[in-house]
Amino acid sequence: MDGRLRYIGYQVQGPQIYRRLAKLVERGWIEFEVDPRDGGPDAKVYSLTEEGREALWEWARSPYQPSPRLADPDFVLRFLFAGLLDRDIAISVVRTELEYRLNDASPTGTLDEVSADFRPQLPEIDPAWARQLFISAHEYGFSQHASYITWLQLTLARLQNHRTI
């Protein structure tokens, strides 16, 4: 997860993974076999149980609800891992996320909400300067949102046009 997979959206540490694996074993969703290693500690090789496979499919097929948070980790996980199970799930998740983001988008990216009479609480802050900073921060967020929408549109088109062999 520190290498090429770091862009998937999660930064996890080894202890987090092992705690989660232990919980999945407790639930009966995964099992493991010990793989003896010469010169080092034995390894555990994990695999899904039938119950785990059913839970995975249940999660994958459950309705996806977008989060107000842009590029929420749940979207990334659902898109990637549920999408691996079924191409229609990947397309549906991207389409749902895109529709949500388009409905949430500012059509122009302008920020009219920072009124001209905006007064910072501290007297040493210049209101005109503060207004410019607020507008710039808004434009940064808007550009991130617009870029994300563009990625969703490109991804949806790519997935819909993909032909399986």
Asked if pLDDT for residue 105 goes beyond 80, the answer is no
Q: Quote the CA–CA distance of 72 and 17 in Å, as a whole number.
A: 20
| pLDDT score at 83 | 92
- Which comes out higher in pLDDT, residue 146 or 11? 146
**Would the pTM count as exceeding 0.75?**
yes
Residue 156: partners with Cβ closer than 8 Å, 6 or more residues away: 91, 94, 95, 98
The mean per-residue pLDDT over the stretch 34-54 comes to 94
Residue 92: pLDDT band (50, 70, 90) is: very high
| pLDDT tens column, 55-67 | 999 999 999 999 9
| pLDDT score at 5 | 65
| pLDDT score at 89 | 95
Q: Quote the CA–CA distance of 77 and 81 in Å, as a whole number.
A: 6
